[in-house]
Amino acid sequence: MESRQQQFSLWYVLAAAVMMLLIQSYVGSAHVDNLPYSDFKVLLKAGKLNDVVIADDVVTGTLNTQGLEGLLSKQQVDKLLGLGKGDHQFATVRVNDPNLLQDLEATKVRFLGKVDNKWVSTLLSWIVPAILFFVIWNFMIKRMGGAAGGMLEIGKSKAKVYMEKETGVTFADVAGIDEAKAELMEIVEFLKNPQHYRRLGGKIPKGVLVVGAPGTGKTLLAKAVAGEAAVPFFSMSGSGFVEMFVGVGAARVRDLFTQAEQKAPCIIFIDELDALGKTRGFSAQGGQDEREQTLNQLLVEMDGFDTNKGVIIMAATNRPEILDPALLRPGRFDRHIALDRPDLKGREQILRVHAKNVTLAPSVDLVKLAAGTPGFAGADLANLVNEAALLAARRGKDAVETADFDDALDRIVGGLEKRNRVMNPREKETIAFHEAGHALVAEHRPNADRVSKISIIPRGVAALGYTQQTPTEDRYLLKKSELLDRLDVLLGGRMAEQIIFADVSTGAHNDLQRATDMARQMITQYGMSEQLGLATYEELPNPMFMGAAMLPRERKEYSERTAQMIDDEVRQLLTEASQRVEQTLLANREKLEDLAKLLLEKEVVDRATLDQLLSSKVPGPEHAPVDDTPSSVHSLEAGL
């Protein structure tokens, strides 16, 4: 709306400019016939002129257009008569004619003199255009220096300011992170009742650093603190400080703290702090130097301001391992609050928060839905609820049902369903046996997660089929026996292809990669090799919340002989796993074929159908009943 008003204002300025030009062009000359001076003398002697006004440079008056034939040329007569009959105003340029007054007196024409007001024409010709140009220039400068951050205000802070409860978020909107909420409630008390904590000589913390994986609610938590404390909330991204101009970042930091002190008590929130606070080091690049100067200014400001004024700095990042140590020391960011992915209870609370404004069917059980979404962060769960609501609306339902949540979760985990993809019968049969192999091995391993759904419908970019498993509980530690069972499940698809077709396909690429990585980690990081002992190798740098797959491996710090032993141990783990899987599938070949035929017929097999197909139960510990909602996926990939 603001940009539209600015556009309209610009059009108004342009319209005013045109009007001024028209006024300048036509004032004093509207409806005036310009006559040559020779024609003026002829018409004067013929008595066709009246009320003549003599000025310094021009002679004007009234012209009678009747009876002009024979006095002027035909072209001039036609021009004058084309304006219509009757009297018309005329003007002619005055020349040095000493007989002019005598001729006027001889024809008894009423005349008078006039002094030209040259200042009027000067005003119209010079001053008014100058004023108009200044107005346009001032408008453009204001537009350049507006909220978008123009040239004139490039050194000013671009922080968004939410006054008091304008954040629209309170702790009631935050769920699943009770420990972090309790920690930050004290910050709210600092701002509401600072004297309660100062009475014993304590000081309010200067800064709070919130770290956590993407989507865990870091920004939401900071807004909730501001909403609960009912104080101004300055929000800015770390990348918003640094520009291409030298010194801009430092100037913005100074301006931000100046504004914050004027509105104290308040909260300054810097999102994605790692964009600004990376560890300083030598670099020949100017941009790097500018970022370091900005960081230096931030450190100085955090040291300089007085916490008694009630200004608290909050920052969020998912890469705390790359932050400069000077930022993390006490006296700057005094408190560090880590947000982990929510557990079962936390996921249930988050689902209830996001489902408040969604019409749910009575059959929807959020407890079971939370049990089937391990590893989901708050943003993932919000997306799940929204996708389910959109699917239900697309299908014309009056409420969101359990089936909608299942389909939404399938789409999030596996990708978009592609039922129209054309596949030849041989490939479809291979996919069916591959997924049946995963499922059958998982059902014959007591420590493997329970199979919830099997599908041979292609999804996403490369997944031709998938087997979904639901863990019975959140796990934070895995034993060697559990890892070996998971290794067997990963190899189940490949071994099923080999047993049935005596040949293998490229579809097991992802399974083999995950199996190899798991086996190598067991040997090099978890000390699960009897031959290599308790030593660890190939330790990865601490990725914190980035994920180990995004970081390169460290330089090898062991001999070639040890490397050969590691390769042999990894190969032995995979060989032993493939032998175990082969034995299981051969002993249950009839079930494997029946499950593959059922998949070819129905394309999707759920838990209840799988239970009916399996004639004997799997020995092992009892599993708690859970929903059919999937969490882990073993997919068959399309070959490149």
8 Å CB contact between 188 and 170: no
Minimal CA–CA distance to 510: which of 493, 534, 528, 527? 493
In angstroms, rounded to a whole number, what is the distance separating the alpha carbons of residues 183 and 188? 10
- Tracing tokens 């190969």 back to the chain, one arrives at 571
8 Å CB contact between 187 and 227: no
Minimal CA–CA distance to 159: which of 1, 327, 315, 334? 315
In angstroms, rounded to a whole number, what is the distance separating the alpha carbons of residues 635 and 73? 98
- Tracing tokens 């108004």 back to the chain, one arrives at 12
Give strand pairing partners of 208: 314, 335
On the CB side of 444, CA atoms within 13 Å amount to 24
Q: Three-state SS for 470?
A: strand
- Tracing tokens 């865990």 back to the chain, one arrives at 216
* Active-site hit among 228, 435, 443, 637: 435
Q: Which amino acid is at 278?
A: K
- Tracing tokens 């090799």 back to the chain, one arrives at 529
Minimal CA–CA distance to 459: which of 515, 421, 497? 421
Minimal CA–CA distance to 253: which of 189, 310, 164, 327? 327
Known catalytic membership, residue 401: no
In angstroms, rounded to a whole number, what is the distance separating the alpha carbons of residues 400 and 415? 20
Torsion (CA) 352, 355, 359, 364 in degrees, nearest 10: -50
In angstroms, rounded to a whole number, what is the distance separating the alpha carbons of residues 31 and 396? 71
Positions marked catalytic: 435
